[in-house]
Amino acid sequence: MFVGNGFDIHKHHPERKLFLGGLSFAGDGFIAHSDGDIILHSLLDALLGALGKKDLGYYFPSDISTPKNIKSSEMLKKVLEIIEYEKYSIRNIDITVLSESINISSKRELIEKNIAGLLNIDDSKINLKGKSFDGMGLIGTSVASASFTTILVENA
Ligand SMILES: [Zn+2]
């Protein structure tokens, strides 16, 4: 079995579309070279980490070699190729979103189901949690939001 962890954080911007777990929602999105999907970015780093394949920035640097505003679901497809996903089976994924402005409980089911679809696994293997920051610092004042992911992978 292989365990991996991933983290991502981006600053909010009112003119950016909000993408979370491969879906778009109403609300302020993130400033990023890609679509700024903190959930998928932390998930992909966890997956790469579990299998010893460096990090997301190695494959998708924030420069002209990566298409601007690339969808994170496209990045996910490429990462699955890089790690030879068919050789592995995901045991479970635990995600925590740290945000003052994003209400996770209202989006949980949709996001869990979408990630399950992207990874071709049962949605019972995914748990998405939300955590506010009690008004403290950059996250507590809604300047930024962040996401942590832990993943457990087995040989298929
Ligand atoms: Zn990111």
Which pLDDT score, from 0 to 100, does residue 99 have? 98
What's the CA-to-centroid distance between 88 and ligand 1, angstroms?
24
Record: fold of 2-155: 60s Ribosomal Protein L30; Chain: A; (3.30.1330)
What's the CA-to-centroid distance between 72 and ligand 1, angstroms?
9
In the chain, domain spans: 2-155
What's the CA-to-centroid distance between 54 and ligand 1, angstroms?
15
Residue 133 Cα distances to 22, 31, 93, 142, angstroms: 24, 20, 22, 9
Compute the C-alpha angle 17/142/35, nearest 5°. 25
- The answer to whether residues 117 and 75 touch, using CB atoms and an 8 Å cutoff, is no
Which pLDDT score, from 0 to 100, does residue 76 have? 98
Q: What is the pTM of this model?
A: 0.98
Task: Provide Rg for the chain, Cα atoms.
Answer: 15
Which pLDDT score, from 0 to 100, does residue 79 have? 98
What's the CA-to-centroid distance between 68 and ligand 1, angstroms?
13
In this prediction, what percent of the chain has a pLDDT beyond 70?
Answer: 100
What's the CA-to-centroid distance between 156 and ligand 1, angstroms?
28
